[in-house]
Structure 1
């Protein structure tokens, strides 16, 4: 069994990636910018400078990445206030890890406010010892900073911790940090790179729970 488990949030714990993607068009419309096919995929799993880099690649060097980020989050918040759906197996996995006294952390590219909002709405915040946003560390995913800091805060060595992710950047970050990194795909199917670098690819969090139970994982 692992000494700690670190969860991504969007697309891994909650079915929110579709919402974030759908929010691009109204966000850009509010700002008078054209919708561009593929921007949602390009920005997925990024934050801070990495998000700004994507925005400037798609909309030019003069694009106000912070303004786009802020409006995008305002639009999404309006949608999330209507509720969020948990991913299959989340409750079962959390309950199992809690029974085993395994410390858990959330390390997400979302803002701290959004993370806490989602955890509170789903009534699962009490499971997590640490809640951390990529905006609170120097480099966002695909750099491993947020996972390394989360591991430090729950007092677990990366080699003894499990990282659960759905995005390419998240998997890259977990692997770069020396974690056992499992991909549970959401909108993006596993690429050849993901199949090569991820420790394992699981169909759901319920499968993760079952593999931990049998000792096939960890």
Structure 2
């Protein structure tokens, strides 16, 4: 029986993936580079530092990472300040999970200040039983370390935990950690590998709430 939900954040709880992608591509364009949609797909669910290393390797010595970060972060922070919407179904799912006394963890590749900014003016962060951010993990998704840390800190077995992810990298991390995992795709469709490995593939978090009602 599932006793915990392990939530990714960007693209799963918040509609942030589209604005993040725009900022990364905007900065590249401003510097005379092209960050294609296809190349960006490999960044989804991965920590920023690893993505930046990929860019530096790809574009070589002409690429000024410090200048790129400045342009990208300024563009992204401006977009975040205008407000970020919750994804459909999150509020009801969170309330339903709390009502069923499930443990709730936030397991994200983002850094804590970004997490705090996204959840500003809400009381959700204080209601999670555990928060795992980029600062806590040496090896980010698609490595399974973050989800292993989550279920160990919660004192649960991996098969008691349902990972909720929007990305292939996140799904791989969850499954490699031994957890049950459901993908709710955002801007990336599941690969055939993930289709074969996923316990569930849903269109929205609304269907996760429906699953809970059936199982509880």
Regarding TM over 0.5, the answer is yes
Deviations 1:77-109 (CA, angstroms, capped at 9, x unpaired): 221111111111100100001111111111111
Q: Relative to structure 1, is the Cα distance of residues 64 and 105 closer, same or farther in structure 2, using a 3 angstrom cutoff?
A: farther
Q: Relative to structure 1, is the Cα distance of residues 135 and 126 closer, same or farther in structure 2, using a 3 angstrom cutoff?
A: closer
Structure 1 residue aligned with 2:34: 35
Q: Relative to structure 1, is the Cα distance of residues 104 and 169 closer, same or farther in structure 2, using a 3 angstrom cutoff?
A: same
Alignment of 1:51-200 (within 5 A): 51-60=51-60, 63=63, 68-69=68-69, 71-200=71-200
Deviations 1:45-65 (CA, angstroms, capped at 9, x unpaired): 111553244223432267565
- The answer to whether the 8 A contact 2:143-2:173 is kept is yes
Cα distance in 1 between the residues matched to 2:46 and 2:67? 15
- The answer to whether the 8 A contact 1:23-1:72 is kept is yes
Structure 1: state its 5+ residue gaps.
none
Deviations 1:15-66 (CA, angstroms, capped at 9, x unpaired): 1100011112332355x24122134322221115532442234322675657
Question: Per-residue deviation at 1:4?
Answer: 1.3
Structure 2: state its 5+ residue gaps.
none
Cα distance in 2 between the residues matched to 1:41 and 1:103? 31
Structure 1 residue aligned with 2:214: 214
Q: TM-score, normalised by structure 1?
A: 0.89
Q: TM-score, normalised by structure 2?
A: 0.89
